[in-house]
A = this chain, B = another copy of it.
Amino acid sequence: MSVNDSFTPATRLAIYRTARLINLIDERFRSLLRSGRLAAVYYSPRGQEILAAAMGVHLKSSDYLVTTYRGIHDQLAKGIPLRQLFAEYYAKATGACKGKGGPMHITHPASGVMVTTGIVGSGLPIANGLAWASQLKKDGRVTLVTFGDGASNIGAFHESLNMASLWKLPVIFLCQNNLYGESSKYEKTTAVDNISERAASYNMVGVTVDGNDPEAMWKASGAAVARARAGEGPTLIEAKTFRFMGHYFGDPGAYIPKEEYDAHMARDPMPLCRAALLSSGAATEADLAAYDEEVNAQIEDALQFAADSPFPDVEEIDRDVYGVVKGAAA
């Protein structure tokens, strides 16, 4: 895609479809958690569907993704298969990580999901390495690493952006600024008005964009991907968004002022995208209803697959510790 490509209704539809997939799966997971039919620490992406989808349409499955505990939207936008994803949430042997990693460590190289980390900021240095390998192999791959606003205050962020710029690495730093880190407000922990301004510390291109606006996010993402593929180096994208479901599932979110929450809710990107799509004529109510049915069927299938799958054998505990021989255990 070239930066001048125009944003078509078809593109909006593509973005909506991915975002809606994320949206429906998130809704389902939260209802399963509420009813106790799923037991896992869960970090909802509710509110951040559009930005992940708008970036996702620019990426190939061969491109690399490094994400975080709040990463299910990134993983789905990257095309991870539902069955392995769900089975991992259910700690089943058929899960992407055989139930050994769990939701916080989803990995699926076939779809380019290389690392999901539970440590704030730690994905950035690793993303540089994936991009360095692509630069050496000239394989044209782009590495996308996503993280939050809070992560922009940790040392690894600084070291990584400096190195990526010096080495002109094909990497995209996507900061999903949802205005909170756990229960801490952005202003209380981050001494800069826009995180994208920090790119200047590394002679790097930095842009702030409304992550909830499909067109704006699609343009910014496309430009960054094009820059990386052309060997012109990294980009820092700050996608402004909001976290509708608190930090983790069950977080009462009492620290968020009601007016602030309501103001964001009034601009929930999902219904907005849906409305724009309908008015653009790219899809009808019927089309979207049909799509929901299609997705719900996939969800049912994946849930059934997870339910029918066995838990890992106890023997699994000794596997994957070392490559060849089992390690340090006496």
Chain A contacts to B: CB under 8 angstroms: 153-159, 161-162, 165-166, 188-193, 197-198, 200-204
Query: Which chain B residues lie closer than 8 Å to A203 at the CB level?
Result: 191-193
A–B complex contacts, Cβ < 8 Å, 12 sampled? A154-B158, A155-B157, A158-B159, A161-B191, A191-B201, A191-B203, A192-B201, A192-B202, A193-B203, A197-B201, A198-B201, A200-B201
Contacts of A188 in B (CB 8 A): 166
The docked-state distance in angstroms from the alpha carbon of A188 to that of B166 is 7
Contacts of A159 in B (CB 8 A): 153-155, 158
Inter-chain contacts of A153 with B (CB < 8 A): 158-159, 162
Shortest beta-carbon distance, A191 to chain B, in Å? 4
Interchain CA distance A200-B197 in the complex, whole Å: 8
Which residues from B are CB-within-8-Å of A158?
153-155, 157-159
On chain B, the residues within 8 Å of A197 by CB distance are 200-201
A116 to B123, CA, bound (A): 32
Shortest Cβ distance from residue A287 to the other chain B in the assembled complex, whole angstroms: 46
Within the assembled complex, what's the spacing in Å between the Cα atoms of A159 and B198? 13
Extra contacts, 20 of them, besides A165-B191, A201-B201 (Cβ < 8 A), are A153-B158, A153-B162, A154-B158, A155-B156, A155-B157, A155-B158, A155-B159, A158-B158, A158-B159, A161-B191, A162-B190, A166-B188, A166-B189, A191-B202, A191-B203, A191-B204, A192-B200, A193-B203, A198-B201, A200-B200
Of all chain B residues, which has the CB nearest A168? B191
Chain B, Cβ-Cβ closest to A187: B166
A321 to B202: give the CA distance in the assembly, Å.
42
Complex Cα spacing A200 to B155, Å: 16
Bound CA–CA A157/B156 (angstroms): 11
List, in ascending order, chain B residues with CB within 8 A of A198's CB.
201
| Ranked 8 nearest A-B pairs via Cβ | A155-B155, A158-B158, A165-B191, A191-B202, A198-B201, A201-B201, A166-B191, A191-B203
Complex CA–CA separation, A161 to B190 (angstroms): 11
CA distance A320 to B106 in the complex (A): 47
Min distance, Cβ A158 to any Cβ of chain B, angstroms: 3
Which of A161, A162, A165, A200 has its CB near the most chain B CB atoms (within 10 A)?
Answer: A162
A189 to B162, CA, bound (A): 8
A4 to chain B, nearest CB (A): 28
Residues in B whose Cβ lies below 8 Å from that of A161: 191
Cα A165 to Cα B188 with chains together (Å): 11
Instruction: Tell me, rounded to whole Å, the shortest Cβ–Cβ distance linking A219 to chain B.
Output: 25
Max count, chain B CB within 10 A of own CB: residue among A156, A157, A191: A191
Chain B min CB distance to A116 (Å): 22
A177 CA to B23 CA in the complex, in Å? 50
Q: Which residues from B are CB-within-8-Å of A191?
A: 161-162, 165-166, 201-204
Complex Cα distance, B201 from A17, in Å, reads 37
Give the complex CA separation of A203 and B156 in angstroms.
20
